Amino acid sequence: MQIGRNALLAVLAFVGVTAIAAVALVRMVPAADQGAPAGAGPTATTARVQPIATAATVRVPPTATPPVPRPTPAPAKPSDAYPRPPLPTPYPPLVGGALTFRVDSAERTKSVRPPMSSGPVAVAIGWWVVVAGTVQNTSSQPRKVVPADFRLRDGAGDTYSPSADPSVAAALAGKNDPSADDLPPGRAKALAMAFDVPVAATRFQLVLASENRAVDLGEPPVIATPAPRPSGSELGPTPPPKPTQGSPHPVPT
């Protein structure tokens, strides 16, 4: 009886120890398997895998774009930026009631001749004072404008009429408008005239005879008479042609 009771106690003690061990094992397994995927057995690994960074999560700093240089505009030329003023004339306009004469040039010379040919030379007794310019009809009616409408007055008060010599008219043909003398209202034309004055005369004025209005010319510069351009007849005989190499004809001497 005693032996049987001891055996029963031993069996109960073994069962108790086994139950305690089983309970302890059950408590350890959940703590070890925390974070394991669902359905994984007790052999599943418990190490946590760090997420791999993807391109969407990586921030790449933007590349700085260098500034594009703008072309520097070329500075404007003075002639492009500002219009050029008209060339000033040393003489004020001669303004009358019906005519306005603008002096372009005034000069003294001993003789006048056509510059493009060997025409007749008009020699002055003293000096030719040649005045050239533009005359405009400022009235409301057509007007006949001729050199005789003007006079030249010197510092002593002496007046001179323009020359009517045909050789003078031929010499000044390039400075005169060949149109008719009747000038329509508002129109203008070139006009030149020559006055034969004494050598000692000085300080000249151009006078509009019909109205006794004048413009100062001062002391016109002295201009040499231009040499005529030789025409074909003044070039001399045509020289004989030079022989070319192998020419069968001798050149006469």
Q: Identify the CATH number of the domain in which residue 198 sits.
A: 2.60.40.1240
Identify the residue with better confidence: 169 or 116.
169
What percent of the chain shows pLDDT beyond 70?
Answer: 57
Same domain, 25 and 125: no
Same domain, 204 and 115: yes
Domain that holds residue 143: 94-227
Q: What's the domain count of the chain?
A: 2
pTM here is 0.55
In a domain, 57, yes or no: no
Contact between 189 and 77 (Cβ < 8 Å): no
Residue 109 forms beta bridges with which residues?
A: 128
DSSP-based three-state secondary structure for 134: strand
In tens, the pLDDT along 71-92 reads 776 655 544 333 444 445 689 9
